């Protein structure tokens, strides 16, 4: 009977061992699985691949797209992708079905077409393909990232999309089964050996003697004992221990690791405070802005600026080209360079319009200059709105390159003055030598802009024998941009309109204007009066609340934008 039990244990052990080995070999799960968009999914000009799919399983996700003709796959922050999609009809790939064979696609109705998303400044990367694309989805930086798939915005996005995910290849019962099987085999062998030895040792005893020993044991109230039963008990205990250990191992392997406390909230916080541009995006945008301004400057053609220059800078450069086409000695606008990027300022406020700054100094830049770039809406690209050379003797304030807060012009939170108060104070200071802001807004030791402006206005007024002259400096409120600095203060940038008006003192008196203004006015002399207009690009540092320091003019320049006779 014991031999049969031993044989059964060995057989059971072999089967258990083979089952454990099989889980690691012939029954091992595939390392990956592939799910595809269902064939009956509705068509749409745009397809969004939700960021959750990238982290659905640990490891790298690979995407295969097949389509007719050219198409693109762009990477962007989820909120940027959503903002660009807007009201356009689109599909969103949100997950994988339970059988892991199909991708879950949600359709949203909307407008039937959209602009071509290729080349948008919102995308960190843009993959272009024709016919087929194999893409390895890796995040360009920390945080969440979604994908946008499209043809050209007018045709349906490619419908053949499959995603290959890392599979769960863990086999938590393999090791316990192999250990248990080995124990059963060893236990069966030991039990068989003990049974054989007992049979050999008791071969000379008669049945009568064995029965007598048994009766004697029963009379003394003791159970018959033998080394074989003791060994069998030890084997059984070992088997139970192995089974319990295997179960614990399997349970531990099958249980997912707990997420760090607060991980979900920290991820949301990170997404909300993410800078609107990564360094690679910023450099790409800056290169395109520089190329556009180079082309416009070389050809003196404002049409070449339209895609990348707007606002005051477009107005100033347009008039600069017109003057230079007639006055060869007129000084060109300072060139925009991207090769020597000294620093960047990027907002972490993700609403539109979005403003960013670059401080550059390349060939033709006597001093570093601040470039103000603004993106008015998700589907528009950044445009250069102002170029403002730093004042000699000043330094650019320290602002975190990891993203900083932008404030509304009226917001005075934590500041000595709000942005609009700072710009209004500067305008008043430029207009009047006795301005109340005389001691509240200063220049660096060698910064000449305020002093030179006041001196020029005083000299013109004094020397004007034939005319009466007046000067005004008025803030353009919509141009004001405010960035929080690292010390809690702010850098305020914006445009001021500088008006220079002259009227003859007596009938017949003539007023003369320079060649530059004459190119815009259509003549050099007037007996009725004249008006000259300049666009001033300014940057002012505002100390934090509680400071006793004055505001400082950081950067300034002006450009002639208009000249007319009354």
* Residue 414: alpha-carbon gap to chain centroid: 27
Given a contact cutoff of 8 angstroms between Cβ atoms, the answer to whether 384 and 409 are in contact is: no
Q: Which residue has the higher pLDDT, 229 or 115?
A: 115
What pTM value is reported for the model? 0.79
pLDDT above 70 for 502: yes
**What is the rounded CA–CA span in Å between residue 299 and residue 287?**
18
**pLDDT range class, residue 5, cuts 50, 70, 90:** confident
pLDDT above 50 for 242: no
The mean pLDDT of 187-192, rounded to a whole number, is 77
Please state, for a pLDDT cut of 90, what percent of the chain lies above it: 69
pLDDT above 80 for 215: no
**pLDDT range class, residue 16, cuts 50, 70, 90:** confident
pLDDT digits (tens, 9 = 90+) for 226-239: 444 444 445 444 54
Helices (H), 387-546: 419-431, 449-463, 515-521
**What is the rounded CA–CA span in Å between residue 269 and residue 80?**
16
pLDDT at 252: 42
**pLDDT range class, residue 338, cuts 50, 70, 90:** very high
pLDDT above 80 for 204: no
**What is the rounded CA–CA span in Å between residue 419 and residue 409?**
5
pLDDT at 21: 75
* Residue 17: alpha-carbon gap to chain centroid: 51
The least confident of 7-21, 131-145, 374-388, 425-439 is 7-21
- Which residues, other chains included, contact 526 with Cβ-Cβ below 8 Å and sequence gap of 6+? 504, 510, 511, 513, 565, 566
For residue 248, list its beta bridge partners.
none
pLDDT at 258: 37
CA distances from 306 to 86, 172, 289, 294, 556 (A): 25, 63, 10, 13, 24
pLDDT digits (tens, 9 = 90+) for 49-78: 999 999 888 889 999 999 999 999 999 999
pLDDT at 444: 73
Tracing tokens 């659905």 back to the chain, one arrives at 56
pLDDT digits (tens, 9 = 90+) for 118-133: 999 999 999 999 999 9
Instruction: Fill in the DSSP letter of residue 260.
Output: P
């Amino acid at each position: 009977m014991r031999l049969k039990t031993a044989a059964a244990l060995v057989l059971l052990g072999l089967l258990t061992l083979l089952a454990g080995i099989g889980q690691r070999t012939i029954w091992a799960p595939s390392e990956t699985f592939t799910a595809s968009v269902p064939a009956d999914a509705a068509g749409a000009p745009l397809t969004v691949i939700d960021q959750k799919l990238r982290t659905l399983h640990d490891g790298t996700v690979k995407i295969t797209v097949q389509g007719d003709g050219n198409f693109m796959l762009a990477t962007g922050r989820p909120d940027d992708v959503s903002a660009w999609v807007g009201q356009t009809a689109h599909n969103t790939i949100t997950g994988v079905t339970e059988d892991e064979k199909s991708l879950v696609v949600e359709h949203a109705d909307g407008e039937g077409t959209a602009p071509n998303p290729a080349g948008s400044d919102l995308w960190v990367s843009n993959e272009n393909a024709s016919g087929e694309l194999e893409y390895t989805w890796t995040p360009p930086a920390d945080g969440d990232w979604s994908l946008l798939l499209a043809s050209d915005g007018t045709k349906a996005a490619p419908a053949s999309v499959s995603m290959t995910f890392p599979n769960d290849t863990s086999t938590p019962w393999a090791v316990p089964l192999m250990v248990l099987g080995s124990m059963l085999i060893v236990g069966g062998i030991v039990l068989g050996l003990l049974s054989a030895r007992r049979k050999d040792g008791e071969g000379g005893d008669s049945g009568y003697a064995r029965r007598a020993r048994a009766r004697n044991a029963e009379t003394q109230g003791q159970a018959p004992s033998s080394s074989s039963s003791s060994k069998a008990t030890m084997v059984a205990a070992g088997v139970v221990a192995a089974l319990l250990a295997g179960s614990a191992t399997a349970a531990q392997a099958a249980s997912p690791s707990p997420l760090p406390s607060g991980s979900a909230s920290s991820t949301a916080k990170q997404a909300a405070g993410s800078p609107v541009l990564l360094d690679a995006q910023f450099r790409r945008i800056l290169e395109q802005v520089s190329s556009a301004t180079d082309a416009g400057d070389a050809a003196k053609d404002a049409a070449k600026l339209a895609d990348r220059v707007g606002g005051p800078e477009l107005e100033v450069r347009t008039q600069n080209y017109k003057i230079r086409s007639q006055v060869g000695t007129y000084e060109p606008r300072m060139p925009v360079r991207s090769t020597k990027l000294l620093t960047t300022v990027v907002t972490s406020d993700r609403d539109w319009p979005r403003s960013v700054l670059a401080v550059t100094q390349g060939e033709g830049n006597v001093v570093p200059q601040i470039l103000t770039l603004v993106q008015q809406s998700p589907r528009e690209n950044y445009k250069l709105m102002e170029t403002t050379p730093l004042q000699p003797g000043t330094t650019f304030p320290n602002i975190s390159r990891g993203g900083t807060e932008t404030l509304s012009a009226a917001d005075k939170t934590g500041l000595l003055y709000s942005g609009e108060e700072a710009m209004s104070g500067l305008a008043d200071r430029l207009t009047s030598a006795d301005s109340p802001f005389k001691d509240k807004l200063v220049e660096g030791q060698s910064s000449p802009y305020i002093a030179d402006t006041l001196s020029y206005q005083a000299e013109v007024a004094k020397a004007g024998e034939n005319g009466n002259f007046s000067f005004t400096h008025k803030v353009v409120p919509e141009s004001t941009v405010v960035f929080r600095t690292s010390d809690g203060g702010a850098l305020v940038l914006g445009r001021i309109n500088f008006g220079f008006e002259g009227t003859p003192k007596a009938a017949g008196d003539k007023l003369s204007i320079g060649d530059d203004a004459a190119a815009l006015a259509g003549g050099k002399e007037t007996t009725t009066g004249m008006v000259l207009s300049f666009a001033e690009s300014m940057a002012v540092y505002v100390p934090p609340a509680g400071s006793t320091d004055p505001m400082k003019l950081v950067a300034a320049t002006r450009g002639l934008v208009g000249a007319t006779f009354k």
